[in-house]
A and B are shown apart, each in its own frame.
Chain A
Amino acid sequence: MIKKLLLISILLLLPGLCSGQTYLDIAAPVSGKPQLVLAPSTTLSGPASPEVAKELSELFSLDLGLAGLFDVTTAGQAAPGAPLLLKSAYAVNGNSLVIECRLFDQVLNRELTAKRYSGSIKELRRMGHAFSDEVLRVLTGQKGPFTGKIAYATKVSGNKEIFVMDYDGFHPQRLTNNGSININPDFSPSGREIVYTSYKKGNPDLYRREIYTGAEARISARPGINAQGTFSPDGSKIAEVMSKDGNAEIYLISRDGRELARLTRTPAIDVSPAWSPDGKRLVFVSDRLGKPQLFIMDSDGGNVRRLTTEGSYNVTPRWSPKGDRIAYARQVPGGFQIFAINPDGTQDTQLTTSGSNEHPRWSPDGRFIVFSSTRNGAEAIYLMRADGSAQTRISRGRGPDSHPTWSNGW
């Protein structure tokens, strides 16, 4: 069902806040985060709804707390003179909902942004996340990732099927239902399509699926493996692993599955391609030197060089949206841990320690990494900040859940 709804938002463009000027310099070391106070949500009109007020307050606390830039408090705990104040108000009318949200700078005594959203009551969380995205945009110059979706593979129904959910684990929705093995979901830049691999016709083939309509094309069904498809940053091409020429190699194909280029030619295993944000390079996994390690090549397959030199088993790399870091998983005694390294091989840093952690993927703004972890039993989806802090479970099912990937905002 399509919900026809209209979100109306209001943005005040303030003369003092030009592009490039931000309230928070997120790169600077934080010495005492600015306090952001959440005022109790009030009604615009109509009856009060404690449920709506509570959900909004919890949502803003979660989103803006995870952002790590503020000390988020509710109004009751506010120190007077807190620099940032977030006010929200709602009107519930049957199944429709209107929300108005405003962010104030109390030091300069001015409104930084105001938005009005209207739609179905079911869109409450989406509206709230949209304002969280906006708060980060206004304060840092870069919008938040909270309206993005997480696609993942879950065995909740017995076999691996692809689901999508909100970034915070709400609204899990099934995309595939074929009883076979479905793995490796990856979003197109629009966030409206995924590619994934399914065995539903026997062989591991690559499918491209329009999430909303369910329309789907099998775009790669060569003999052998057709897997780990990942869209180029401009969405025009897909890097993919195929074994049609003898063993696992990395290829580029068009959105329709036409082969554009073969990038690797070794008798070794070459898998897990991931694009640099400018689309000029790929990081990938190869065991050409014995054990799986990360390598970087140009997007024509040239100029290959080894990236990781520590650890004997490094896999599943993903390049950060800013291009400055590459997250990956390293096998260590007891399982995997997530690391990040600079593309020049420096600053190789361990980010996780608890349980076994795999499949790191960046949020579209690069602030977060989503991954799978066994730290509390069955594999589940977690997220953390790019520096490894604020590790938080987000999937709410019994799982096991794996292969998360985070879309651009919808």
Chain B
Amino acid sequence: MRNRITGTIVFVFVGALLCGGCAKKEVVKPEETAPAAQAAPVTPAPAEQPKAAEQVKPAPRPPEPAPQVAETPAAEAPVSSEAPKAGAREQAPAGEAAGEMRMDLKTVYFAFDSSELSAETRDALSKNAEVLKMSPGMKIRIEGNCDERGSDEYNMALGERRAKSAKDYLVNLGIAPDRISVISYGEEKPVDQGHDEAAWSKNRRDDFVIAK
């Protein structure tokens, strides 16, 4: 399945940037100055007298509050109009930033360690497809999520699989693939913080977010 993730195209343009930062770069000894001078001649000395000297440069400690040069989101205007507002959105610690609503698009749910679409999920996706057909200019991002039980590393991939599974279904219903981007949040964005099946079943989901 070919997947076009419009939301991330903008980042390709940006490329890897080395944020040396505005702050003056502090000089760091790159490598430990290991036993530098351990070879001084061993001279007879009183029992408790150290004999050979070894200089150890202590590793620099991390900056107390790390200089957050690199962390401030650079004022990165969307390069193209296709760019979703994901970047801006993620800066907010929680919740939706302005300009994004979930409107009538329905969240769909999954079984544990599964990206299979249940009958109920397919019904909801069909309704979402109708919404998209009525708003031909609308682009969406499908956000795949998992419950906390699986491995978070594996769940990163499982969340993406869930999002793509929903995308494939919508495309089969006639929605143009370039209207749909996907992203996985793994188990990092639970809607219910609980630790039981009632919470988990709400967290194994795809959210549908209007990207533009």
Contacts and interface: CB of A to CB of B under 8 A. Distances in A.
B137 interface: no
Task: Point out which of A211, A212, A287 has the most chain B C-beta atoms below 10 A from its C-beta.
Answer: A212
B26 A212 contact: yes
Nearest to B48: A102
Interface stretch (B89-97, B124-132, B170-178, B196-204): B89-97
B51 interface: yes
Contacts of B48: 102
A117 B56 contact: yes
A179 B92 contact: yes
A62 interface: no
Contact of A159 (B93, B150, B184): B93
Contacts, number: 268
A311 to B, nearest CB: 12
A95 B212 CA distance: 58
Contact of B58 (A7, A202, A223): A7
A114 B7 CA distance: 59
A201 B73 contact: yes
Contact of B66 (A5, A10, A173, A227): A173
A342 interface: no
Given A12-B51, A183-B188, A203 B11 contact: yes
B121 interface: no
Interface residues of A, number: 96
B57 A243 contact: no
Contacts of B4: 223
A272 B151 contact: yes
B50 A12 contact: yes
Contact of B70 (A184, A209, A285): A209
Interface string B44-65: 0001101111111111111111
Contacts of B185: 181, 199
Contact of A9 (B32, B54, B70, B87): B54
B19 A217 contact: yes
Contact of A10 (B14, B54, B86, B188): B54
Nearest to A257: B16
A5 B57 CA distance: 7
B90 to A, nearest CB: 5
A401 interface: no
A358 to B, nearest CB: 7
B143 to A, nearest CB: 11
Nearest to B54: A9
A196 to B, nearest CB: 12
B86 A212 contact: no
A178 B74 CA distance: 11
Given A213-B28, A316-B151, A178 B71 contact: yes
Chain B interface bracket (under 10, 10 to 19, 20 to 34, 35 or more): 35 or more
B118 interface: no
Contact of A228 (B27, B69, B153, B161): B153
Nearest to A356: B149
A71 interface: no
Interface in A1-49: 1-3, 5-13
Contacts of A9: 53-56
Given A216-B70, A223-B9, A272 B90 contact: no
A346 B55 CA distance: 45
Interface in B71-88: 71-73, 76, 84, 86-87
Q: Which of B2, B16, B47, B93 has the most CB of A within 10 A?
A: B16
B135 interface: no
A375 interface: no
A10 B51 contact: yes
A331 interface: yes
A288 interface: no
Contact of B93 (A158, A269, A316, A410): A158
B56 A2 contact: no
Contacts of B65: 173-174, 177
Interface in A269-297: 269-272, 285, 287, 291-292
Instruction: Determine which residue in B2, B9, B86, B188 has the highest number of CB atoms from chain A within 10 A of its CB, and name it.
Output: B188
A390 interface: no
A348 interface: no
A201 B69 contact: no
A26 B70 CA distance: 45
A54 interface: no
A6 B182 CA distance: 52
15 contacts: A1-B64, A6-B55, A173-B62, A178-B72, A199-B185, A209-B70, A212-B26, A214-B66, A221-B14, A247-B160, A247-B164, A271-B156, A331-B151, A358-B152, A410-B59
Q: Which 8 A-B pairs have the closest CB atoms?
A: A202-B86, A410-B59, A10-B50, A248-B157, A315-B151, A216-B70, A223-B5, A7-B56
Interface of B: 1-5, 7-9, 11-12, 14-21, 23, 25-28, 30-32, 35, 38, 42, 47-48, 50-73, 76, 84, 86-87, 89-94, 113, 149-154, 156-158, 160-161, 164, 182-185, 188-189
